[in-house]
Amino acid sequence: MADARQKAHNIAEETRDSIRADLEKKRAKVEADLAKKMAAAENDIRETKQAAMGHVDEIASDTALAIVTNIVGRTAQKATKDAVAKVVKG
């Protein structure tokens, strides 16, 4: 009887260890997949941010031109763009 109990205990222990190992493999795979997706998402965010920052001069220039045109009543496009470029470059 004691042998049967020990054998059952050993089988249960082996089964638990097998299940734990399987779960660990699956968890590691999921974590690796998530890490890949996170890296890709971070790269997309970085590229989008760089693209957006590339348009800041254009947006600032268009905004300044609209404001100047609204205040002055005429378009001073080149002067406005030159002034924005000067400010942006520092």
- pLDDT digit string, tens, across residues 56-77: 878 888 888 888 788 877 766 7
* CA dist., res. 80 & res. 28, Å (int): 56
**Same domain for 59 and 40?**
no
Q: Provide the domain limits for residue 13.
A: 1-53
Question: 13: how many CB neighbours lie within 10 A of its CB?
Answer: 10
57 close to 89: Cβ distance less than 8 angstroms: no
- The reply to whether 30 and 14 lie within a common domain is yes
Q: Does residue 43 sit in the same domain as residue 1?
A: yes
Residues 75 and 45 in one domain: no
Residue 11 shares a structural domain with residue 47 = yes
Residues 45 and 59 placed together within one structural domain of the fold: no
Query: How many separate domains does the chain show?
Result: 2
Average pLDDT over residues 36-52: 95
Does residue 21 or residue 55 have the better pLDDT?
A: 21
Q: What is the mean pLDDT of the chain?
A: 87
Residue in 69, 65, 63, 60 with CA at minimum distance from that of residue 78: 65
Q: What is the pLDDT of residue 90?
A: 64
CA dist., res. 42 & res. 44, Å (int): 5
Coil vs helix vs strand at 85? helix
What are φ and ψ of residue 34, in 5° steps? -65, -40
Ranges of beta strands (E only) in 1-90 are none
- In the predicted structure, residue 30 carries a pLDDT above the cut 90: yes
Shared domain for 11 and 42, answered yes or no, is: yes
Question: Same domain for 12 and 36?
Answer: yes
